[in-house]
Structure 1
């Protein structure tokens, strides 16, 4: 399935979660490899949006909140390095919105 054009990617998901160093489940070091830091969250937002609009969304599972999808591909880094990732999205049962949940490194 092609992802909808009106993707919702909450800024706080980037600035208060993905780009913040954490003791457990830290994604900031992984993202820093491609030049994404707390100083340029707009670049990460652009890269996630580009990945989501150029790759297929694959249905994963459904629960009381809606249907979850994954979109895998290359996250184009600001320093020229690309990261292979899987992004997770939720199509809300309530309002039909397509919302970014998280990303993780894709492991082969």
Structure 2
């Protein structure tokens, strides 16, 4: 199944979480390998949107918040490098939109 194009990717997930260096669960160094930095958050947003709207979504779990889905694929980097990732999405019980939750490196 494909995810609808009216997905929600909160800007703060990009600018205040994914691209911010952290002591634990740091994703900024991983994303920097493909040229995604705090100076170009819109590029990461676009790459996530492209991945989400062109790959299959797989239902994961359902809980009190709604149904979680994953999308696996490559983020096309600013510098031409691809990053294999798994993105996590939530379709709330109270709405039909898919909301971006996070991404993580795909381990082989």
Give the TM-score, by structure 1 length: 0.99
What corresponds to 2:32 in structure 1? Answer: 32
Is the aligned partner of 1:23 residue 2:23?
yes
**Residue 54, structure 1, aligned to residue 48, structure 2:** no
Post-superposition Cα deviations, 1:49-77, rounded to whole Å, max 9, x if no partner, equal: 00001100000000011100000000000
Q: Is residue 72 of structure 1 aligned with residue 64 of structure 2? A: no
CA RMSD of aligned residues (A): 0.4
Shift of 1:95: 1.3
The 2-side partners of 1:76 and 1:95 are apart by 29
Q: How far apart, CA to CA, are the structure 2 residues paired with 1:77 and 1:5? A: 21
5+ residue gaps, structure 2, are: none
Aligned to 1:104: 104
Partner of 1:44: 44
* Structure 1 unaligned spans of 5+: none
Query: Aligned partners of 2:56 and 2:77: how far apart in 1?
Result: 20
**TM-score, normalised relative to structure 2:** 0.99
Deviation above 6 Å: which 4+ runs of structure 1?
none
1:20-55 CA deviation, whole Å, 9 max, x = no partner? 000000000000000000000000000000000110
